[in-house]
Amino acid sequence: MVTERGLQVLRAIVQDYVDTREPVGSKAIVERHAFGVSAATIRNDMAQLEDEELIAAPHTSSGRVPTDKGYRVFVDHLAELRPLSSAQRAAIASFLDDSGDLDDLLGRTVRALTRLTGQVAMVQYPSFAAAHVTHVELVSLGGGRMLVVVVTDTGRVTQRIAFAREEPGDDELVQLRARVGALVVGHSVRGAAERLGALLANAPAPAGGLDALADPILRVLAEELEEFRQDRLVMAGAATLARREADFRGSIYPLLEAIEEQVTLLKLMSEMVADAQGLSVSIGRENEPFGLPEASVLASDYDAPASGARIGLLGPTRMDYPTNLAAVRAVAHYLTRLLEDDESAR
């Protein structure tokens, strides 16, 4: 059983190791922290922490470093998060306030978070399966090319080009727009995708006329709505892993692979259990089932219209947990507010 002073010693070891990257000894703790006890007493506390497998010696006769279990105890006993400075909060606001659509906002969000923390930042798209299609626009670009624009009530806007066999006339374009809108506008993304899938599966090959013009548009629209339903991550800061490679005990290749594939990180983030503040942390070997035992993942819930999702950080276990958790929470709160304001304005 770790004593209260033992927990304070663990906090000091974590703090000093994060700051210096060097193993921490009892003499350094006495010099840097006001415990009011001798180095011998601190050594006894450290021996108990080592017995509990919360710290370990990386080399013979060296200081001690936190273990994954030690980081977990440290995070679980955080009394408070280190608040962001007014300058950091102002930077978040200025970086996100001028964003355009949802894609732009989420891209800005991860870039702001990685700048604040120096870690890989990631944000889940809200689930669009329950969103509703509010508008579909068709724009003729000439040469049979048709720009298909889809808008949902969550603020998502996408554009894809469909290639028709011939150029539609003005009257045909009006009819196409009405026909496509009648199929999907007002329906949920899930429902609209299912309607289009059933229609295309059972429809005969178009012979000509309006059906021939509508077919490529409906197929592009069906693909786009299906993508809406898939979970996605927006990420920034992958290059920071190379700069922090020395902080990982082994290869960073599994992390780079997870960033590229996304499926592993989406599954991990979805299974992390949040506390009362909507924050969740998964450390080191806790991530072994996902092939990421070298990394820590921090996440905060954020709210979006008709849905919720998470924003988080990926990095080495040796990280500034109080500051990084505060940054994730602050950016999540700001993102929620922007999405709520955007919903109210519509």
pLDDT, greater one: 316 or 188: 316
What six digits make up the tokens of 231? 């979970």
| Burial (CB count within 10 angstroms: exposed 0-12, middle 13-18, buried 19+), residue 160 | middle
Express the helix, strand and coil content of the chain in percent, nearest 5 each. Answer: 55, 20, 30
Strand order in the sheet with 133-142: 133-142, 145-152, 157-163
153 confidence band (pLDDT: 50, 70, 90): confident
Q: Is the pTM of this model over 0.95?
A: no
Domain with CATH 3.30.390.60 in the chain: 133-229
272 Cβ contact list (under 8 Å, min separation 6): 280, 281, 282, 297, 299, 310
Q: How far apart are CA 4 and CA 270, in angstroms?
A: 34
205 confidence band (pLDDT: 50, 70, 90): low
pLDDT at residue 303 greater than cutoff 90? no
What are the φ/ψ torsions at residue 3 (nearest 5 degrees)? -75, 170
Pair 332, 300: CB distance under 8 Å: yes
Task: Give the residue from 296, 298, 320, 293 showing the smallest Cα distance to 311.
Answer: 298
For the segment 223-278, what is each residue's pLDDT rounded down to a tens digit?
888 877 667 889 999 999 888 888 888 889 989 999 988 889 999 998 999 888 88
Residue with tokens 């609209």: 192
What's the whole-number average pLDDT of the chain?
A: 87
Which CATH fold topology does 86-126+231-345 show? Beta-Lactamase (3.30.450)
Domain with CATH 3.30.450.40 in the chain: 86-126+231-345
pLDDT at residue 315 greater than cutoff 50? yes
User: What architecture is the 133-229 domain classified under in CATH?
Assistant: 2-Layer Sandwich (3.30)
pLDDT, greater one: 144 or 136: 136
Domain with CATH 1.10.10.10 in the chain: 4-76
pLDDT at residue 207 greater than cutoff 60? no
CA atoms 256, 261, 266, 272: torsion sign: negative
Pair 315, 282: CB distance under 8 Å: no
Which CATH fold topology does 4-76 show? Arc Repressor Mutant, subunit A (1.10.10)
Q: What is the pLDDT of residue 209?
A: 53
Q: What is the pLDDT of residue 130?
A: 67
